[in-house]
Structure 1
Amino acid sequence: MTQSQAPTIPDDVQKTINVALAKGLPITVAHTDPTGAPVMSFRGSVQAYSPVELSIWARNADGGLAGAAAASGPVALLYRDAAAKTTLNITGRARLAADDAERARVYEVTPGAEQSKDPDRKGAAIIVDVDRVQGMLEGTPVRVVVAAA
């Protein structure tokens, strides 16, 4: 990597995230509620959205994760595939999609199994601006600071 290139989410990490649901391994997403209490849930819709962003389609637009995104709250994501010796810890800030085009794209990259649970697209399109990715990918250490935390 040259000095002019900004760090990005490695391609192999993006691919791993994108097939998580198909492998039966939804990603755990953590955020805080309005009182500051931690909340965790499995999310099958997490996908690589860009080299520095992930997307999540939250079927409940009034739910806690959508609320955390509306407040640009911090989030943490955890992926674990013991058989593949892979554990990924990802941190960043969630935000709601900026416009209708971004919202539509988040829905379109969401796996079909998740789309079928919200065919009317009533959910919330969430973008995670990734700060860090760390852990192990098939037994090889991964540590990337994507953005200044």
Structure 2
Amino acid sequence: MLHNIPPILSPDLLHCLRAMGHGDEIVIGDANFPASSLGPKVMRLDGIPATATLEAVLRLMPLDRFMPDRALTMQVVDDAAAVPEIVAEFQQILDATADHPAPIVSLERFAFYDRARTAFAIVQTGETRLYGNIILKKGVIGSA
């Protein structure tokens, strides 16, 4: 056991977060997200909500302060202006937990999938709410 590490983070996920470099991206996907078919390494956190996963990851991983699109979500199909409840929760978690909070940027569904294909890894959660997907861009420790 280790101190101050959220217990929902698996050893594989901790290794992944440590192995990521500046500018690498990680996807936190909901239970419906097509994680296994996109290509990057997939780690599963079945039964864990995406919101809890986001908060745990942000406690350890710095966000890239130089990029405005350091947190991205998927737009609602046929209503790009809609903000699902879970996305509003993601924003609250980013504001409260991230070292460099920023407004979430949204991407059209297939653009989100394309971006996810280039991610370092995907974490598939047990989140059942629709649009419970977010991409985070890793920053550096000590960036002012």
- Structure with the larger helix share: 2
Is TM > 0.5 for Structure 1 vs Structure 2?
no
- Name which structure has the greater RCO, CA cutoff 8 Å, separation 6+: 2
Using the size of structure 2 for normalisation, the TM-score is: 0.32
- Structure with the larger strand share: 1
Using the size of structure 1 for normalisation, the TM-score is: 0.31
Larger Rg over CA atoms: 1
